[in-house]
Amino acid sequence: LSQPELLQIQVNAMATITDLASKQCKPCEGGVRAPALSQDEASTLLLQLDGWALQDSRIGKAFEFKDHYQTMAFVNAVAWISHSANHHPDMSVGYRRCRLEYSTHAVNGLSENDFICAAKVDALFKI
């Protein structure tokens, strides 16, 4: 690929990530809900995220920080995102590290909500 073609791919990818981060989570408790994403759907959405890995029916990523204070500030910001989206990750927190894993228990797998929240967290981490 030429340099302009590569640049256009990067621009398109960033627009897609921004689009995903700007979406709102859809309720999936009670009522009619979409089924879990297929492996192909999850793999396609995963391409829009930086550094996230697909593991069984979860997506996960580890974040590294300069110190414990930055780690806890990040955890609190993720808590705000989770509360506002009503979609909560599993977290493992250490001194300078936080690992997040998203899955949607209501569908027993992955939903678009997992990828929306992951994109929002990525946008937060880049600040």
Provide mean pLDDT across the span 43-59. 94
Residue 48 burial (CB count, 10 A): 20
Residue 28 CA to residue 35 CA, distance in Å, equals: 9
Residue 35 CA to residue 24 CA, distance in Å, equals: 18
Class of domain 3-24+35-125: alpha beta
Domain boundaries, the chain: 3-24+35-125
Q: Are 101 and 50 in contact (CB under 8 A)?
A: no
- pTM reported for the whole predicted model: 0.80
Q: Which amino acid would we find at residue 53?
A: A
| Alpha-helical segments (H) within 1-127 | 3-22, 39-46, 68-85, 112-125
Q: What is the pLDDT of residues 67-100, one digit of tens each?
A: 999 999 999 999 999 999 999 999 999 999 999 9
